[in-house]
Amino acid sequence: MQQDVIIVGGGMVGLSLALMLAKSNIAVKLLEAVKYPNYEDGSIAPYHSSFDARNTALSRRTVQIYQKLGLWDALQEHATPILEVHITEQGSFGKARLKADQEKVESFGQVIENAWLGRVLLSQVRQQPLIELIDGVQVTSLTQDQDEVQIEATRGGEYIHCLKAKLVIAADGRDSFCRQALGVGVDVHDYEQVAIVTAVQTSKPHNHVGFERFSHLGPLALLPLPGECRRSVVWPVTKGREHEWLGEENDQHFLNALQKTYGDRAGKFVKTGKRFSFPLSQVLAHKQAVGRVILMGNAAHTIHPVAGQGFNLCMRDVDVLVRYLNQQIANGRDLGEPEMLKAYEQARLADQKRVIKFCDSVVRGFSNQNPVLKLLRNTGLVAFDVIPGIKPLVANYAMGLKA
């Protein structure tokens, strides 16, 4: 059962990658451990382990990738643009603003709920004849030799597949089985934080403004969602405290805490959806290319969501890898050529290290409540807001246009 490419992991990165490969006329087998929903009701997007309650801020570069795939019209129905970004710290004077019209861009990006992003991607994959989707299977073995990679998989404990390919792309998450099977180690940093995720209704319209609010509890991101007064909340808090705000009985307590931290810029927080929590850590693989296998997505690097860069960094990885594979096809060469995969890895390291360092520095810098450091960072926010030339550089970097 020789295939050009096998992708292990059918989350948002794996599905996007499969669609991009199919567009390049590359046949794909896509393996996913969890059974996908049937999506019989067109008005809802049921949660899946990979398409959960979280939302994603798609950078302009990521939007451009989906436009090239011909998917953006379908995604735009469930997304809303960010036209302004406000950055503040609770109880401090510093603030910074970015406005799309001043930076001469249509928007800084688009916010979409993962459940809807996953639904659109999965629907497209199911319609693509070059993609064979195999869900509800567990990969139990990954081995390789000079010429190919061999994967064995089971369903419900019963052996069902032995697959072979010239190239395997492991996008099977932070705790990647494939990464472990390859013997690739990781560097792990536990932030001792848990992200509380939900959607809220406010008394004032969002007007397409996204907020990053730093507090002693953790950095609060409030982003616009479809619907005039509907906003997403991503609030990393100290591990162990999340239970104070989870559960229906704590709805009002959560809204009160949100109001106290955020202030009255959005008016009143009048309603909250169900809250979910996710532990936060940084996981970096020691290698991303091993023989004929490439690590992708969270299997390669999992980072803090503070600046909304994680998924967008993965999509830039995907975009560059597909370009390398297209060049192999144009030259009539092996898609899994180890030297080419190593070249891809080296090409991506600078962007990855820059983003990872930036996100980690923001978390650590704003977590420190030392009065001197607090003064310095708020002075920095003011400087960012008034010194000419800084905003365009930061805006282009955040939009993924200068990676």
Distance CA 115, CA 209 (A): 22
Per-residue pLDDT tens over the stretch 223-275? 999 989 999 999 888 898 888 889 889 999 999 999 988 888 889 999 999 99
Which pLDDT value is given to residue 156? Answer: 84
- Confidence label for 382 from pLDDT (cuts 50, 70 and 90): very low
Domain CATH for 186: 3.50.50.60
64: left (phi over 0), alpha (psi -120 to 50) or beta: alpha
Point out which residues pair with 149 in neighbouring strands: 144, 165
Q: Is 357 exposed, middle or buried (0-12, 13-18, 19+ CB in 10 A)?
A: exposed
Say yes or no to pLDDT of 367 above 80: no
Per-residue pLDDT tens over the stretch 32-44? 999 998 877 777 7
Contacts of 388 by beta carbon, 8 Å cutoff, 6+ apart: none
Residue 323 lies in a domain: yes
Residue 148 lies in a domain: yes
Q: Residue 34 carries which DSSP code?
A: S
Number of independent structural domains in the chain: 1
Higher pLDDT among residues 222 and 52, named by residue: 222
Which pLDDT value is given to residue 396? Answer: 56
175, 279 Cβ separation under 8 angstroms: no
What's the whole-number mean pLDDT along residues 140-161?
90
Distance CA 383, CA 182 (A): 47
Which pLDDT value is given to residue 209? Answer: 93
For 245-313, list the strands marked E by DSSP. 269-272, 276-285, 289-290, 293-295, 301-302
107, 100 Cβ separation under 8 angstroms: yes
Residue 382 lies in a domain: no
Which pLDDT value is given to residue 67? Answer: 95
Choose the weakest-confidence range: 9-23, 165-179, 299-313, 358-372. 358-372
Say yes or no to pLDDT of 380 above 70: no
Strands 293-295 and 230-238: unpaired
Residue 213 lies in a domain: yes
Reference 107, options 317, 402, 395, 347; nearest CA is 395
Say yes or no to pLDDT of 390 above 80: no
Which pLDDT value is given to residue 145? Answer: 94
Reference 344, options 321, 314, 325, 326; nearest CA is 321
Higher pLDDT among residues 340 and 262, named by residue: 340
- Confidence label for 372 from pLDDT (cuts 50, 70 and 90): very low
Distance CA 325, CA 24 (A): 9
Contacts of 35 by beta carbon, 8 Å cutoff, 6+ apart: 135, 136
For the whole prediction, is pTM greater than 0.75? yes
Distance CA 48, CA 34 (A): 8
Distances (CA, A) of 242 to 211, 220, 247, 317: 21, 14, 10, 33
Residue 371 lies in a domain: no
Contacts of 94 by beta carbon, 8 Å cutoff, 6+ apart: 88, 377, 378, 379, 380, 381, 382
Residue 381 lies in a domain: no
Residue 135 lies in a domain: yes
Choose the weakest-confidence range: 130-144, 221-235, 385-399. 385-399
Name the residue range of residue 123's domain.
Answer: 5-365
**Mean of per-residue pLDDT scores for the chain:** 87
What's the whole-number mean pLDDT along residues 171-193?
95
Residue 376 lies in a domain: no
What's the whole-number mean pLDDT along residues 148-158?
91
